Amino acid sequence: MAVLNPPAILRLLGTGASSSSSSTSSTSPSGPSLFGRNSRAWARARPTRILAAAVAAAFLVAYLLLGSSFLATGPYLGSTTDLDLSPNRFADGSDRELELHSHDHDHDHDHDDSHTPLWIEPPWIEPSGEDPAPPPFTPLPPVNPPAPFTPASPPLDEPRPISGAGSPPQNQPPPPAPAPAPAPDDGGTTSDTASDTALKCVSHVQWMRTRPGPNSEGKRRFPHMRPPPHCRTFTLPELESLIAEVKTAIRDPDLARLFENAYPMTLDTMVRWRGYANESDPDTGESRVTDQELAYVVTGDIDAMWLRDSASQIYSYLPLLRASSDPDSLASLWRGIINAHARYITISPYCHSFQPPPESGIPPTKNGAYHLNHPNPPYDPVKVFDCKWELDSLASFLQISVAYHDKTGDVGFFQKYRWVEAVDAAVRAAGAMRRGTYDADGKVQHSAWTFTGWTDRGSETLTNDGLGNPCKENGMVRTAFRPSDDATIFQFLVPANMMFAAYLDSAADIMAALDGELAQNLTSTMRDMAFGIRRGIDKDAVVPRPGFGDVYAYEVDGYGGTNLMDDANVPSLLAMPLWNYTGVDPARDYHAIYRNTRRFVLSEANPYFMKGPVLSAVGGPHVGPGKAWPMAAVIAGLTAFEPMSGLDEAELEEEVDTQMGMLLGSTTNAGVLHESVNSWSGEDFTRSWFGWPNGLFGELILRMRDYQEGRGRGQGQAMEGLLAKSWQ
């Protein structure tokens, strides 16, 4: 882009300053002037031309007063040849999508790490001597934007109280005794550079940017990202013992450090609050504290509680779950999450992410999407952070409920509080969304939930004034949004229906053991619904794909329309074996269908399989083509161990070896897993503080350990096999 110089400005003004200035024509050899050079042209000038002349004159004055160097470069913009003022170009010259509002995994937040390497030390740690980084780019607001929502909470990149530190609220469990000093713990010490920061319990974003040491001894030099023990949001001795044990079995020092950083991330940094529910005395109206445990667990850099994310984050610690009434036990935290989910679902069963419980004293988080999105029925922004109908959110609630029941045998817990009421709300909400677009007479049926969004992203709104694309009733449940928080194309999202059906069946067994007419009625309703969903999947979602055979479609509409793809976010088609899904036809080989689907998903036939030298894995439209998700690579490794995958021992070990090598190489030497990574440029990533994939990575390491021990390959340092490999 050329920068205007004085002759160019003068030509715009029509005053000459060219070799042909003597010409009286308005089309001189130097090019047409803005108005021509005679008084009649000026006299006939329209107001817009006068305004243009004024702007050009202002440019000339600025040039003369400030000098050509400022206009040629400007702050942080580099040379004029690099200057590009296209709408989607940032001040640092990088092309990035401009999002006008949040949407999860939103991954919609104000802390985008995608172009800021974690190891850039902030100026208060150690001056680097380099030029200051450009300030973050702020997109221009849309024309006539709606009024913003007012509730706000401190950003997550500022220091904030840690659960258990200071004076807790009245209904919070007593805090553990504070550690006298941030002494070295399970393999990590605080570096001299970051020790002062650690003592203050700064936010995890700030802590990660210091790259605390000591670094791992491998070629990647991963930092020790765990906060000091006294700054962790939930401490669990069993977790520390497990980490220490598994590390001794891992030969690769970088892999050991990645496991040590990743697996405890949620417990270390994301349990924002634990406490007890309040209730109002029916006689006096006074609020009193109950014994109902509550927990508020965030996704990482977004200060809100997603049903799906928080369920998946806690589920990664299932091997450590034991029955316990100790308020500092994992069982207590697990119950707190189930109770929080139950409360949220009874408030708004069609919503997916929620604000902190009022008992926590944490103010509601501002969501810029509140005035841009219009779900019907509407929601209360003091209670709900964002509202997208995602069937997998309800499936995730059932998943952690079933897991708690199976591991602890604590049936009484489900009878005591609002679990039955929440399941009833979930079943009613899902049941209402089984209706097709038209009734038997062809009339458009009322939809229990609709959504429109004021957006420039097609994945952030639904067609047909919020109804979505038409679908024909087949027993499955319509869902408006995927687990990525992107809108569905065809509303029968197959993996979400699979997961919901699987856990409806399992949760019905819990319901059958409870007292009361509602529980008994729900038991049969849940089982009937699960069967109907499975039958609908069998009918419409198994389709032939040339080169692969019969595969599961990602989305269907009941009319024969299918969307053949897979997305990184779970539930996905790739993840199907993790919840033991099967259909209703005993004559059908569902394992073979999954194997065909797996080959399809992990091939270039899947339009969202991202291939490149950094990371080849499934991605999705949430962050766009070219961005692979480490989560999908972890799922490829986890499902390789499942019999449904049909891999022999050599194939299994090759698959896990491949995925592990890519995961180690895609962290940008940060020592944690990101949300997404550019398959061709590891420096280009999104979300470094994201609990879900890091917990899943820990699950994968534990599966590798169990696999080896199950084959008698030794214990501890003598172990052979997957964990004894080196990726240096």
- CA 647 – CA 551 distance, rounded (Å): 17
What is the widest separation between alpha-carbon atoms in the chain?
100
In a domain, 129, yes or no: no
Mean per-residue pLDDT for 597-615? Answer: 98
pLDDT band, very low/low/confident/very high, at 136 (cuts 50, 70, 90): very low
* Domain final position from 48, 66, 82: 82
Ramachandran class of 485: left when φ > 0, alpha when ψ lies in -120 to 50, beta otherwise: left
635 pLDDT exceeds 50?
Answer: yes
718 burial class (0-12, 13-18, 19+ CB within 10 angstroms)?
exposed
On the CB side of 646, CA atoms within 13 Å amount to 11
419-432 vs 391-408: helix crossing angle, rounded to 10: 150
- Here the CATH number for the domain that contains residue 596 is 1.50.10.10
Residue 251 lies in a domain: no
In a domain, 118, yes or no: no
The residue among 315, 346, 354, 262 whose CA lies nearest residue 570 is 315
List C-alpha distances in Å: 627 to 231, 425, 539, 598, 600.
33, 37, 33, 20, 19
Do the domain assignments include residue 116? no
Is the whole model's pTM more than 0.85, yes or no?
no
State the total domains in the chain.
2
pLDDT of residue 56: 58
Q: What is the DSSP letter of 584?
A: S
Instruction: Give tens-digit pLDDT for 167-190.
Output: 333 355 444 434 334 334 444 433
Q: What are the residues whose beta carbons fall under 8 Å from the beta carbon of 709, sequence distance 6 or more?
A: 715, 719
Whether the predicted pLDDT of 109 surpasses 60: no
Q: Phi first, then psi: give them for residue 200, nearest 5 degrees.
A: -85, -5
* CB neighbour class for 542 (10 Å; exposed up to 12, middle 13-18, buried from 19): buried
Domain boundary among 60, 82, 104: 82
In a domain, 247, yes or no: no
Q: Which structural domain range is residue 57 located in?
A: 6-82
At residue 284 the predicted structure's pLDDT band, cuts being 50, 70 and 90, is confident
Average pLDDT over residues 123-144: 34
Q: Tell me, yes or no, whether 96 lies in a domain.
A: no
Token couple for 458: 């097609």
Question: Does residue 397 carry a pLDDT above 90?
Answer: yes
Looking at the predicted structure, is the pLDDT value of residue 49 above 70? Answer: no
At a CB cut-off of 8 Å and minimum separation 6, what does 64 contact?
none
pLDDT of residue 711: 80
Task: Tell which of 29, 59, 82 closes a domain.
Answer: 82
459 in a structural domain: yes
Does residue 565 form part of some domain?
Answer: yes
Is 191 buried (19+), middle (13-18) or exposed (0-12) by CB count in 10 A? Answer: middle
Q: Which helix (H) or strand (E) holds 501?
A: helix 494-512
